[in-house]
Amino acid sequence: MKMKSLVFAIAGLFCVSCSNALATGSNSGPTPPSPGTTQPISPTSASSYEWPGDDRLKLLPPQPLIDEALREANWSSPIFGYTSDEMANLGNDLYRLRMVNNLFRDVLAAPRTAGKISTDVKANGRQAGVNVQAMFGLLGAPAGREFEPPKKKGSWDLKWIPDETSPADAIDLLFNHLKNKGVSDPADDFDHDAWAKLPARAQRLAIQTAVAATAATPFMKQAYKREVFANLAAQKGVKPAPGWLAQYLLSPHTYTDESPEPDLAVFETYEALDLPFISCASSALFVRLAAAIDGFLNDTQEPMPALEFDPITITLPCGDLVIMDTRSQPAKTGAIVIDLGGDEIYTAGKDTLPLGVPASFDQPIGLLIDLGGNDRYECTGPIGHGCGVCGIAGLFDLAGDDQYSCDGAGTGCAIYGASITADYAGNDTYICRKGGWSQGAALCGAGMLIDLQGDDRYQCGSWSQGYGGTLGCGFIVDHAGNDYYECKEEDAFHPTDLYGGQALAMSQGAAFGRRADFGDGHSLAGGVGGMMDFAGDDVYFSHRWTHGCAYWWAFGFLEDHAGNDRYHCVQYSQGSAAHFGVGCFVDLTGNDSYNDDRVAQQTTGAARDASIGVFFDGDGDDNYVFPFTSAGSGNLNAIGLLWDRRGDDAYRLHVTVDPDDKKKAEQTKSDKVIKNKQNIGIGNSVKREGAMGSFRDRMLTLGLFLDTQGKDSYTVPMEFKDNRNGGWFADNTWWAQRNDELMLRGFGLDAERYPAVTK
């Protein structure tokens, strides 16, 4: 019997043939029992693996386990993934990243890569500049590796300032250096008396900031073909101001229907910037600056006194560096602003350039460094504080309970540039009210939001909280605290035609390309988006396309390393991908809850259309709720993998059929309800399109579900219990699927392969 769609192990709906068969039973290799029955695994047949602990880099399925799963699924191949030749058949969209291409060759490459990235980011701690170096490396633009944090504590690490020089004396050496760099009179507005009032550690921080910005400026001034952007602005009748540039450059990625107004010029801007130069400049600036801030924080012998003086100004090649006193007062405009303290309110409107934003191609660096106080960063214009549009942006807040809010792109967003927003302490709130592109997002560059301490709250619309667009790498990192992350549907992107007008998050560890085969044809590969939280009991609340997801030649991941966490989503989430994407989700330890009060689909290790979706939970007693095509589900030449390594877990299949829909289906003889039952997932694969008469008919579709320790429970709706005659998945059971005609494979295993936890 030919089967146009997967029929999976439901009595009355299940068709047994030589080309499509489900087997369940023991793992010792006897003849499989008839479908719809359950048999226990023999204790002597199971391998036992040594417990590796909670080391993130050791959270990988043992190779014998993978070999067993593929063998029982009756699949033999030199690689556990897709070859370069297979992926080459699927299109050659512009700006595909080499590292994304490499992930398709090995399903385990995604969790291995995400684990290495997150482990390094965690170890780097305050050294955010080192992280930006690595982010540009992921984009294929490594540069500036010569810039490293000073190896000696208290060292200037400069040939022209001897280490024994005090900050009070070093200022004159800085002025000489700036003159050599082309600044005619760097001390024109400098107040020596006010400078003398500053603590030595504040003086040192200011000098190191000036040195870092001066080193980065020449690269940034050469990083753009300015005439391209100037001509664009002239054609539109506007000035190439940062706010207009941000909206224009983002426009191909934020259109609301399938037929945006044709504009070839915007696609030409991808060739009008030099990522290696931006990478080098970012290293020169952020590596030294982060080290200088670290030195300031470590030097606690001299507390910051209450100071009152007129702003101190030092002229740099990128503009003025302005130092404000400790009073709460409106900040003076400058390319770089260092505020010594006070509860500040930083505001910017539609026609005001926020602080911490590059002003122009001639002033390509914008920094705001706030040393203390409970501060508010409020923007109601098209861009917010810390938006690196056609330049480098930095926002560093060292203390206090702070509030960050914007209506547009900002707070660690890079658009054709680089950006870091770093908050070092306090219980903070981050809000992006309209649209998105905030809280660690990037298009053509690297954008990062890092929070080191406190119980924090994050709220966004779309394209935020660890998002990577074309040639972009966006990270959101939280090191400590019980945090709440929310992507609000009412503030998210609502396509008018796509997805039936439903909201799309594209946030919280998401990466997307631009698919345009339905529209203007200018498809563009996506980038890398990562969300990392290293401690605390956290809540992740989102909807569609979120929690380690990817679309169109992109890689998105979410890593949570500790705590009892709650995750809420709707679709294509928690280690899911579609249309040439690689999505990865890893929760290392803790008693976690996945979608306990929301109906979701295509989650927890699900993939569609030449994609890979991976979900790992390392340890803990977890609660899962999932409906269709989830929990290790492959769909249309894709590979989905769910692995829960250890813990007593509860799996609940939440599949409901509305009575009116069921009645309508019976009246019209529709197979909609039946198809839904066929696609339930949990270690299976499906190809609803049937045979396609192309290379796809010989390309693998695979779903794997692996639970390798614990007393687990499986709850199935009664209508499925009636149909499945007892069911196929249960504790200490295996099940397998095979369809040779459509190259479908599936395998599920619930077994005791690791030592139990002593409770």
> 17 pLDDT band (50/70/90 cuts)?
very low
The number of beta carbons lying within 10 Å of the beta carbon of residue 225 is 16
- Alpha carbon 670 to its chain centroid, in Å, reads 40
181-237 tens-digit pLDDT:
999 999 888 999 999 999 999 999 999 999 999 999 999 999 999 999 999 888 888
Concatenated DSSP letters of 263-311? -HHHHHGGGSB-HHHHHHHHHHHHHHHHHHHHHHHH--SS-------PP
- How many helices, marked H, and strands, marked E, lie in the chain? 15, 42
pLDDT of residue 260: 58
Inform me whether the pLDDT recorded for 408 exceeds 80. yes
Q: Residues in the chain, how many?
A: 759
Identify the residue with better confidence: 239 or 160.
Answer: 160
pLDDT of residue 529: 98
CA separation for the pair 33, 16 (Å, rounded): 12
Average pLDDT over residues 523-531: 97
382-391 tens-digit pLDDT:
999 999 999 9
Strand partners, 346: 377
Maximal CA-CA distance, the chain: 91
- E strand or H helix at 231: helix 226-236
Average pLDDT over residues 119-140: 95
Identify the CA nearest to 454 among candidates 428, 491, 489.
428
Concatenated DSSP letters of 390-454? SSEEEEEE-SS--EEEESSBBSSEEEEEEEEEEE-SS--EEEE-SSEEESSEEEEEEEEEEE-SS
Concatenated DSSP letters of 360-392? SSSS-EEEEEE-SS--EEEE-SSB-TTEEESSE
User: How many percent of the chain have pLDDT more than 90?
Assistant: 65
Which range among 33-47, 74-88, 415-429, 695-709 shows the weakest confidence by mean pLDDT?
Answer: 33-47
Using alpha carbons, list the distances in angstroms from residue 653 to 21, 147, 403, 591, 647: 22, 52, 40, 19, 19
CA separation for the pair 257, 496 (Å, rounded): 6
Identify the residue with better confidence: 524 or 545.
Answer: 524
CA separation for the pair 661, 642 (Å, rounded): 31
Give rounded-to-5 percent helix, strand, coil for the chain: 25, 30, 50
Which range among 105-114, 272-281, 291-300, 684-693 shows the weakest confidence by mean pLDDT?
Answer: 684-693
CB 59 within 8 A of CB 73: no
Average pLDDT over residues 290-319: 91
pLDDT of residue 210: 98
CA separation for the pair 45, 663 (Å, rounded): 47
The model's pTM:
0.91
pLDDT of residue 256: 52
User: How many percent of the chain have pLDDT more than 70?
Assistant: 86
Average pLDDT over residues 115-141: 96
pLDDT of residue 759: 64
451-489 tens-digit pLDDT:
999 999 999 988 999 999 999 999 999 999 999 999 987
The dihedral sign for the CA sequence 327, 207, 215, 471: negative
73-99 tens-digit pLDDT:
888 888 999 999 999 988 778 999 999
pLDDT of residue 38: 41
Identify the residue with better confidence: 593 or 28.
Answer: 593
Identify the CA nearest to 645 among candidates 628, 612, 622, 613.
622
Q: Rounded mean pLDDT of the chain?
A: 86
690-739 tens-digit pLDDT:
788 888 888 999 999 999 999 999 987 655 554 343 346 789 998 888 88
pLDDT of residue 4: 26
590-638 tens-digit pLDDT:
999 998 766 667 899 999 999 999 999 999 999 999 877 888 999 999 9
pLDDT of residue 64: 93
Q: Environment class of residue 333 by beta-carbon count within 10 Å: exposed (0-12), middle (13-18) or buried (19+)? A: middle
